[in-house]
Structure 1
Amino acid sequence: MGIYLKRSVTVMALAALFIVTACSSGAKEGTADGTGEKPSIEIVLNNAGRKFPEGMDENKNPYIDYIRENTNMDIKLTTPPADGYGEALNVIMASGDLPDMILSYDPNWFESYVRQKALTPLNDLIDQYGQNLKKNIPEEAWKTVTVDGKIYAIPSLNPIPGNEIIFARKDWLDKLGLNAPKTLDEYKNVMRAFAQDDPDGNGKNDTFGLILQENLGKTAPFIGAWGIQRGQWTERDGKLVMSSTLPEMKEALAYLADLYKEKLIDPEWALNKMANVDEKVASGKVGLFSGNWYDTRGPILTNQKNDEKAEWITLEYPTGPDGKQGTWGNNYVSGYNVVPITSKNPDAVIRMLDFMIGDGYRTLVLGFEGEVWNTQDGKVVTNFDEHNKHIYRQTLSEAIVPLEAEVSRDRLDSLGMEFKLNEIIDQINSVAIRNQYLGVPTAGMGKNGPKLGKMENEIFTKIIMGDLPLDAFDQFVEDWKKNGGEEITNEVNQSN
C-alpha cells in the first residue's frame, strides 16, 4: 500500500486549501428522509478545467441548484485541480476529515482503498435508494466494482463502445480509380496508391499511405482483423490469456512491419502525438487513417475547410485471413463513485446519484430546455452559445453516466447530423472487442502492469520499424511471463 500513501510536500501544499474547504464544514449532522432535516453531503468531482460564467462557481450555478432542489439536499462540491487530480484524491483520503463521495477514474486507486477497508459497502443502500442505478447500470459493470460480494462503488459508464474507425478520402479513391477496400490486401493496395500515385495531384511525393500514432496508436482496426486487441484478456480453452501474447498478435505485427518496410506508413509515426496526427490530416497529407469517432468534427472538418474538394467516408473494418473484423472496445466503467467509510450520510449519496442518472440526467446532459436547447421537428436543436456558456454542467453529468440513454444520441445529433456521429458509433459497436476480464485490478496488475505495458510498447514499435526481427515477439512473450505476466494471469483466472 505504500505507493498510495506517499505524499510530496508540493502536493500537500497545493492540496491544503481545498482539503480545508472540502471537508471542514462540520455540517454532516443531517440525515436522510424521514427526519425532517435536510441531509448535507460533500462530494469531490473533476471539473477538467472548465470555466464558469462570471459570478458563478462549482457551488453557485443553476445546475447544482437543480440537483439540490430535486433531492432536497445541501450538496457541497469540491473540484481539485485537473492536473494532479489522482494525487489530490490520495491527499484527501489521508486527511482526517473525509467527504461523503469521491469520483476516481483510476481502477488501481479504487482497488487499493477497498483493500485498505476505507470504503463503504453499498449493496443495501443501492437496493433501498438506487432503483434508477440498478436499471441503468448493467451487470457487467457492477462486477467490476464488486469485491467478495460487496459493491464498493457506483460505476460511471462509458456509453461510447470504442474510439477508432477508419476514414478515407473518397475523392482520392475516385481519382485513382480505386474501390473502397475491405480485406487487408485491398487496404494495402490503397495505401500504396495513396503513398506513391500523387493522389492530391500536386506533383510532389508528400502523402502517406497510412498514419499511426506513438505506442501503436491508431492500429486497433488492423489488429482487430485477427479478432483480438492489445492489452485485453480473452478466453482460450476456458482460461483467460493476455491477447498481446497470442500468436495472432505476432501475425498482426508482421502485417504492420511489412507496411512500414514498403514505406506506406508515415516514417515519423513512432513520434506522432495526437496533435501531430490531427495536423497532418488537416493539412491534406493523409487519405487513410484510423480516427476517433468524433474526428468528423475535428481534423476532418478542418481539412474540408482547407480543401473544398476533400470528401471523407468511413470504411468497412478490414477483414483478416479468417474473416474476422474488430476494433478496441472500451471498458464499461470509466469512473468510480466511492463513499468513504466515515460518511454519515451514505444513503444521501446514493439518492443523489440515483436522481442524476434518472430523472435529472437529460437536463444535466443537454442543459435547460428553452435556454440551451429546443425541439424542432422532433429533433433537439442546441443553442451553441448557451451550450458553451454552461459547459461546466458536464462535471455533473459525467459523474454518473448510464450505458445507454436516448438523450446521449439526441445530444450527438444536435451537434450536426452531417457529422454522422451516432452512425459512426453504431458502426464501431458492431465490431468492438471488449476485455473479457470484468473483475477489479489485481495486486499484480498494480505492481507490474505499467512495466509490462512499457515493455510491450517498446518491443512492438521496434518490430514494426524493423529494428528487431519478427521473432523477437517470442522472446517478448517469455519476458512478459517472467516479469509478472504469469502472476497476473493466475490472479485473473482465480478471481474471474
Structure 2
Amino acid sequence: MNMKKIICIVMALALCISLFAACGGNGSSTASTGSTSSTAAEGGETTEEGGESSAEGDVIDVLNQTEKMPVSIAVMTGFTQSDSEMEKMLEEKYNIDISLVVLPGWSDGQSQISLLMASDDIPNIMWWWSMDTEYNKWVQAGLLQDVSGYMQKYTNIRDYYDKMDKKTLFYASEADGSIYRIPGDVAEPSCECLWIRQDWLDNLNLKAPTTIEELEEVMRAFTEDDPDGNGQKDTYGLGGDGYDFRSFWPWIQAYDLAHYARFCVDDDGVVTYGPANEGTKKWVGDVAELYAKGYITPNITQDTNRDEEMANGGFGVTYSWCAWNNPDAAPMLSFYSTNPDAKWVPIDMVKGENGVPQEDPATSAAWAYFAITKSAQDPERLFATYDDMCSLENYVERRFGREGEHYEYDENDTYVAIVGPDSEENTSQNIGLKIFDNLFNRKDEGNISNTPETTALFNKSGENSRYAAAHLVEWKDPASFETWTEYSADIETEKDRYLWSVIAGTESIDGWDNYVATLNSLGLEEVLAEANEDYAALQAEMEEYLAAHE
C-alpha cells in the first residue's frame, strides 16, 4: 500500500469518526487542524485510576502553537544527525526547538543515562532499555511524568499498542493505572526464523531439513562435502552471533521447558528456571557434540558479529531475522555483494523431541522505553506533539521520508528506497531518516519496508511461537522480584560460564548436577520460591487488566 493509499484510509477513518461524533457524541472534536493526526477520547476524562496527568480540558492543537517549545530528547548514537532535514521539518511543523542528547552506545549508554537522570539537566524525553531498578527509583523520586491521562486524550500511541497486543501497555503501567514509561520498541510476536543456503543444498542435491536429525546431517554435509565447490575445507554448517545462545534456537525449541535465560512455566503453573531444566541439559549436550565435530563456526563461543561474518560466505545455516527477507536488508546486501551467485532462503523450523516446531517468541513488553521527565516545561503539549508524530502518516514520513523523493513504489506496489534510512547517503546529506529510532517503532502497515512476503514470514513466525510463548514467564516488574534482584548476577554469571564451557568443550555435560547444585547455592532455590508466588499474583493482575480494557 503506497503513501497515497494510506493517507486516503486515514482521512476516511477521520471522516467516519467525525460523523459519529456529530450524530451521537457530545459535540466535541479534535482541536488540531491541517494534517495533524492527534485524536481525543470522547468525554474528556481519564479512565485510569490514580496518576497525576489528566485528560480533562481542551485538546492541544499541536500544529498551531505560537510559542516555541524547547525539546531535549535522549537518543542512541547512530540516530543523532543534528539539524537534519527531518529535524528541521518537525521543528517547523510543531513550533519546537529540538536538542538531541546523544547516548554513547550500547556498552556505555546505561551509565550515561544514570548520570543524566541524576543531573540538573535531565532531557525532556529520556530513552532507556532494561534498567528496571533504576526506573523504579526515578518514579519514586518524581523524575518521570505520569502520562496515563494524556494517553486517553491523545491516542495514536495507545491505539497502536492496543491493536497490536493489549498486554504491552499492561507491562508498562503501574498497579494504580499510572503510566510513567512509554513502550519504545516492541518486537513482533516472533521476529526470527531458520535460514539456509539454498545454493549449497542444490550443489549437494539435498532437500531442506524438516527434523533436527536432518538439519544435523545437512550441517555435516555443509562442513565436509565442499558445498561451494572450491576444493577447500573452509565451510561450516552453522554460524551465528558469537556468545549468543539464540544461535542455537533449533535445538533449544526441540525440548519442553528449555531456555537459555528465561523462567519457564508448565501446564500446571509451576515456574522453573529454564537454564537449570533437563531440557536445557539436552540441548546444550547436542550443541556441544556438533561443535566438537566442527560443524559450527569455531568463533561462535566468542563475542563475534555474525553480520560481519556473513559476507565471508563460510556457513550455510543460521537462525536470524525475518526482516532479512526484505530486499534492502543490510546484512544480505553486504553478503550478496561478495557472493552474487549464492542464495539464502527462510525455511520452516525443524521438529525436535517434543514434536512441536517453534520459533523464538518475543515478549509482549517493550525491550526499550521512553518517558517525559520532570524537566518538560509543558508535559501535555510535549506528549501531544510526540503522539502526533507517531500517527501512521507522520511516522512513515519521519522514518522513510517523502514518497517520490526518498522512496517510491515499484510495479508490485512494493517499497523501494531512493535514499535508504540506513544508507550512507542519508547520513552524508544529513536527511535524518529514522530520527528518534526506538522511541516508538510501528510494526504494522507503517513499516512500509516490509514486502508482502516478509509480512507473511513475520506472521508465520509469530503463529509458530505461541506454544513456546505459553511456557515462558514474562515479568511485569523484574525489579520487584527481590530475590532475583539480589542473586541474579551471580546465577547468570555461573550459568553463562558453565553452558558456554560445555559447548566449547572445556567442561563436560556430565557435570550438570554439580552445576545445578552451584546455582542453588547461589540462591536459585529462594528465587524459585518467590517466582512461583509472584507468578500467581501476576496472572491475576493481568486477567483483571485485560478484562477492564476489553
Under TM normalisation by the shorter chain, which class is it? 0.7 to 0.9
Q: 1:490 to 1:45 in 2, by over 3 A?
A: farther
Matched, 1:382 2:417: yes
* Alignment correspondent of 1:258: 289
Residue 181 (structure 1) shift: 0.5
The question of whether the paired residues in 1 share the 8 Å contact of 2:212 and 2:250 is answered with no
What letter is aligned with 2:406? V
Offset of residue 94 of structure 1: 1.6
**Equivalent AA in structure 1 for residue 479 of structure 2:** T
- Aligned-residue offset at 1:362: 1.8
1:232 equivalent in structure 2: 262
- Is residue 2:438 matched to residue 1:398? yes
Is 1:112 matched with 2:147? no
Question: For residues 423 and 183 of structure 1, do their structure 2 counterparts lie closer, same or farther at Cα, with a shift above 3 Å needed?
Answer: same
Structure 2 partner of 1:473: 512
Residues 261-318 of structure 1: CA distance to partner in whole angstroms, max 9, x if unpaired?
A: 33322333312501xx445442232122223444564455444443444232222212
CA contact 1:284–1:303 (8 Å) conserved in 2: yes
* Aligned equivalents of 1:182, 1:294: Cα separation in 2: 22
Q: Distance in 1 between matches of 2:331 and 2:59?
A: 49
Change (3 A) 1:265 1:369: closer
Match of 2:71 in 1: 42
Pick aligned residue for 2:361 from 326, 329, 332: 329
For residue 371 of structure 1, what is the amino acid of its counterpart? E
Alignment partner of 2:509: what SS?
A: coil
Partner-residue secondary structure (3-state), 1:95: coil
Moved more, 385-394 or 108-117: 385-394
Match 1:127 to one of 142, 152, 163: 152
Which residue identity is paired with 1:125?
Answer: Y
Could you list the per-position Cα deviations for residues 222-268 of structure 1 after superposition, in whole angstroms to 9, with x for gaps in the alignment?
A: 21222543222332221433322222111211221221233322333
The 8 Å contact of residues 119 and 152 in structure 1, kept in 2 or not, is answered as yes
TM-score by length of 2: 0.73
- Relative to 1, partners in 2 of residues 1:391 and 1:253: Cα closer, same or farther, differing over 3 Å? farther
State whether structure 2 residue 228 is matched by structure 1 residue 192.
Answer: no
What does 1:416-427 correspond to in 2, within 5 Å?
421-427=454-460
State the one-letter code of the partner of 2:415. Answer: V
Kept after mapping to 2: 8 A contact 1:100/1:343: yes
Distance 1:32 1:102 in 2: 24
Whether the 8 Å contact between 2:253 and 2:358 is mirrored in structure 1 is yes
Q: What displacement does 1:426 show? A: 3.5
SS at match of 1:439: coil
Aligned-partner Cα distance in 1 for 2:142–2:112: 19
Counterpart amino acid of residue 218 in structure 2: V
| Aligned-partner residue type, residue 241 of structure 1 | T
Q: Percent identity?
A: 20
* 2:9 alignment partner in structure 1: none
Cα distance in 1 for residues equivalent to 2:529 and 2:431? 45
How many Å separate the matches in 2 of 1:94 and 1:455?
32
SS in 2 for 1:219: helix
Match of 2:477 in 1: 440
Runs of 5+ in structure 1 lacking a partner?
1-30
Distance 1:490 1:121, change over 3 A: farther
- Who is 2:127 aligned against? 103
Structure 2 letter corresponding to 1:224: Q
1:270 aligns with 2:301: yes
The offset of 1:355, in angstroms, is: 0.7
SS in 1 for 2:137: helix
Structure 1 counterpart of 2:87 = 64
1:320 equivalent to 2:352? Answer yes
SS at match of 2:367: strand
Alpha-carbon displacement from aligned partner over 1:335-378 (angstroms, at most 9, x marks no partner): 22223345442212321221122152121122123321234443
Contact 2:186 2:441 in 1 (8 A): yes
Amino acid at match of 2:388: F
Shift in Å at residue 458 of structure 1?
1.2
Distance 1:467 1:151, change over 3 A: same
User: Secondary structure at the residue paired with 2:320?
Assistant: strand
CA distance in 2, matches of 1:470, 1:211: 22
In the alignment of these two chains, the number of paired residues is: 449
**Native 8 Å contact 2:161 2:169 kept in 1:** yes
Which stretch has the larger CA shift, 195-204 or 111-120? 111-120
Query: CA RMSD for the aligned pairs?
Result: 3.1
* Equivalence for 1:13: none
**Is 1:289 matched up with 2:311?**
no
SS at match of 1:78: strand
Q: Matches of 2:334 and 2:441 in 1, distance apart?
A: 30
Would you say the 8 A contact 1:463–1:472 is kept in 2? no
The TM-score with structure 1 as length reference comes to: 0.80
Supply the AA of the counterpart residue of 1:184: I
Measure how far apart 1:186 and its partner are: 0.7
Q: Is this contact kept in 2: 1:42–1:77, CA < 8 A?
A: yes
Task: Call closer, same or farther: CA 1:360–1:450 in 2, change over 3 Å.
Answer: farther
Distance 2:437 2:299 in 1: 38
Shift in CA distance, 195/62, structure 1 to aligned 2, threshold 3 Å: closer
Residues 446-470 of structure 1, C-alpha deviations (whole Å, 9 max, x = no match): 4443433222221111222333232
Deviation (angstroms), 1:158: 2.4
**Is the CA contact (8 Å cut-off) linking 1:187 and 1:318 kept in structure 2?**
yes
The one-letter amino acid paired with 1:396 is F
Q: Does 1:203 align with 2:231?
A: yes
Residues 127 and 439 of structure 2 are in contact (CA less than 8 Å); yes or no, is this contact kept in structure 1?
A: yes
Of 374-383 and 358-367, more deviation after overlay is shown by 374-383
* Alignment equivalent of 1:338, drawn from 358, 361, 371: 371
Structure 1 residues 201 and 480, CA gap change in structure 2 (3 angstroms): same
Partner of residue 7, structure 1: none
**8 Å contact 2:66–2:95 — kept in the other structure?**
no
From 147, 157, 166, the equivalent of 2:185 is 157
Kept after mapping to 1: 8 A contact 2:190/2:462: yes
- Does the 8 A contact of 1:367 with 1:387 survive in 2? no
Conserved 8 A contact 2:87-2:98 = no
In the alignment, the residues of structure 1 paired with residue 334 and residue 145 of structure 2 have an alpha-carbon distance, to the nearest angstrom, of 48
Structure 2: how far apart are the matches of 1:205 and 1:61? 49
SS of alignment partner, residue 426 of structure 1 = helix
The 5-angstrom pairing of residues 443-462 of structure 1 reads 443=480, 444=482, 445-462=484-501
Separation (CA, whole Å) in 1 of partners of 2:194 and 2:117: 43
**What residue identity is the alignment partner of 1:76?**
I
Distance in 1 of aligned mates of 2:90 and 2:410: 27
Distance 1:407 1:263 in 2: 43
1:356 touches 1:400 (CA, 8 Å); kept in 2?
no
The letter for the 2-side match of 1:329 is P
Structure 2 unaligned residues grouped into runs of 5+: 1-57, 539-550
Compare 424-433 and 172-181 and name the one that shifted more.
Answer: 424-433
The answer to whether the Cα contact below 8 Å between 2:288 and 2:505 also exists between their aligned partners in 1 is yes
AA of the residue aligned to 1:442? A
